[in-house]
Amino acid sequence: MSTLAEAINGERPASAKRLQGDRFVLTVVGIAALVLGVLIWQQASAQFVALFLIGGGLGVALYHAAFGFTAGWRNYIVKRRSRGLRAQLILLAVSSVLFIPVVASGLANGAIAPVGGFVIVGSFLFGVGMQLGGGCGSGTLFTVGAGNRRMLITLIAFIVGSVLGTIHLPWWLAGPNIGAIDLAQSLDPVGAILLQVSVLLALVWVVVNVERERHGSVERLFVRPDGPWWVTLIGGGWPLIWGVIALAGLGLATLLIAGQPWGITFAFAVWGAKALAAVGVDMSQFEYWSWPYPARVLRESVLVNVTSVMNFGLLLGAMLAAGLAGRFNAGSQNRLGLLNVSAAIIGGLLMGYGARLGFGCNIGAFFSGIATASLHGWVWLVFGFLGSIMGVALRPRFGMDN
């Protein structure tokens, strides 16, 4: 996920003492949300409307807190600045405490997936792709929602890569693997929570010490808002810790209402497959799309698909946040060049393909996987980070500085 500065190619205002919303953008968001909400209510249920609104809240939180996975990793890799990475680790620790008991009690399913070479390859490719594409799964969505044309190119390539990943996934799954490992079942829920929180806090301690050794100081997660707190809450510029609280709370709400953790990229595969089916491609010829669940989702409306509904909400939520901040479609963010577009396309393709092999992206595999005690989420973290190191090294070749 890119930072807010990367998303709009500008610096956050030094002061946020008054609101400067974009009335046109806010009006468009209001009308679109009302229409979509009514359609979702008619085709699905009030439960899906709630998930649509939660998706909107996630979009607002991601944008206003500039909560970045992509840039957070890059800042640590290049500068040894750990603020963004620490926020992610703390989010995972908090979410583990909240999510694991819910899944263990049978109230919801976890993001438990098998571990094999496909996860290693998929997460590595995704790590490379998110550094070239400029954002991860959620980052691509929220920057598109904020009006970024380059990220729209990334999203289209992401969808294409996702469909290609579904076509090849059965072949990958036929290779060696150790199956799905649920740490809460292997260790019991309390043991899994203690293990995960201990490891995550140990990682926080490590990155803090690395940053202090490099810079002599450590950037704080909580920075007092400049101006009234309610202006910051509405207009943006949230301290990162606000983002941690919002994402953990909304993630828990998703788990309880949907009965499954927050995900992003399965919807991209569905959208791409539906587009191909609409122009006459028989998707049932591909093994993945003949499996019961993907086949059913392909037949149904996207408005009765949890991931799609939440993605639509996230897009509108980010657009709402950008409108409230008066920063939708900020001029220079939309400058495109051959190298820039090439990086967006390659990054999107790698992320789409990698997300299918890795059973999710930074949200579905890394965040939701670890938060619900799936071993595959930890494997995804290791190899996704290694892929990001390569992606950071490749960025200058596409005219992007680090």
In tens digits, the chain (402 residues) has pLDDT values of: 444 434 433 334 433 345 667 888 889 999 999 999 999 999 999 999 999 999 999 999 999 998 889 999 999 999 999 999 999 999 999 999 999 999 999 999 999 999 999 999 999 999 999 999 988 888 888 888 888 888 999 999 999 999 999 999 999 999 999 999 999 999 999 999 999 999 999 999 999 999 999 999 999 888 777 778 888 888 888 999 999 999 999 999 999 999 999 999 999 999 999 999 999 999 999 999 999 999 999 999 999 999 999 999 999 999 999 888 888 765 445 567 899 999 999 999 999 999 999 999 999 999 999 999 999 999 999 999 999 999 999 999 998 888
Q: Rounded to 5 degrees, what angle do the CA atoms 139, 332, 402 make?
A: 55
Cβ density class 120-132: b for 16+ within 10 Å, e for less: bbbbbbbbbbbbb
The answer to whether 164 and 353 are in contact (CB under 8 A) is yes
pLDDT at 326: 82
- Confidence (pLDDT) at 136: 87
CB atoms under 10 Å from CB of 212, counted, come to: 13
Per-residue pLDDT at 138: 84
Q: What is the span of the domain harbouring residue 185?
A: 4-398
Query: Nearest Cα to 367, choosing from 15, 17, 88, 155?
Result: 88
DSSP code string of 92-128: HHHHHHHHHHHHHTTSS-----EEEHHHHHHHHHHHH
Structure token pair of residue 348: 């999107």
B/e letters for 61-82, b = 16+ CB within 10 Å, e = fewer, are: bbbbbbbbbbbbbbbbbeeebb
Q: What residue type is 337 in one-letter code? A: G
Number of compact structural domains in the chain: 1
Q: What does residue 182 show for φ and ψ, rounded to 5 degrees?
A: -95, 110
The pLDDT, as a whole number, for residue 18 is 54
Structure confidence at residue 16 (pLDDT): 39
Q: What is the structure's pLDDT at 137? A: 83
Please, are residues 349 and 159 in contact by the beta-carbon 8 Å criterion? no
Q: Is the pTM of this model over 0.85?
A: yes
- pLDDT for res 63: 92
Q: What is the 3-state secondary structure (H, E, C) of 15-47?
A: CCCCCCCCHHHHHHHHHHHHHHHHHHHHHCCHH
What is the C-alpha to C-alpha distance for residues 110 and 38, in angstroms, rounded to an integer? 30
From residue 167, alpha-carbon distances to 129, 189, 283, 294, 357 in Å are 19, 36, 9, 12, 10
The span from the CA of 350 to the CA of 355, in Å, is: 8
The pLDDT, as a whole number, for residue 230 is: 82
CA distance 310 to 265: 11
Cα separation, 162 vs 223, in Å, equals 38
**Is 381 in contact with 370 (CB distance < 8 Å)?**
yes
> What is d(CA 350, CA 134) in angstroms, rounded to the nearest whole number?
12
How far apart are the C-alpha atoms of 192 and 194, rounded to whole Å?
6
Centroid of chain to Cα 130: 11
Give whole-number Cα distances, 355 to 123, 129, 254, 265, 386, in Å. Answer: 7, 10, 20, 7, 15
**Distance (Å, whole) CA 133 – CA 154:** 6
Q: Please say whether the beta carbons of 351 and 164 come within 8 A.
A: no
Closest by CA position to 3, among listed 150, 143, 144, 145: 143
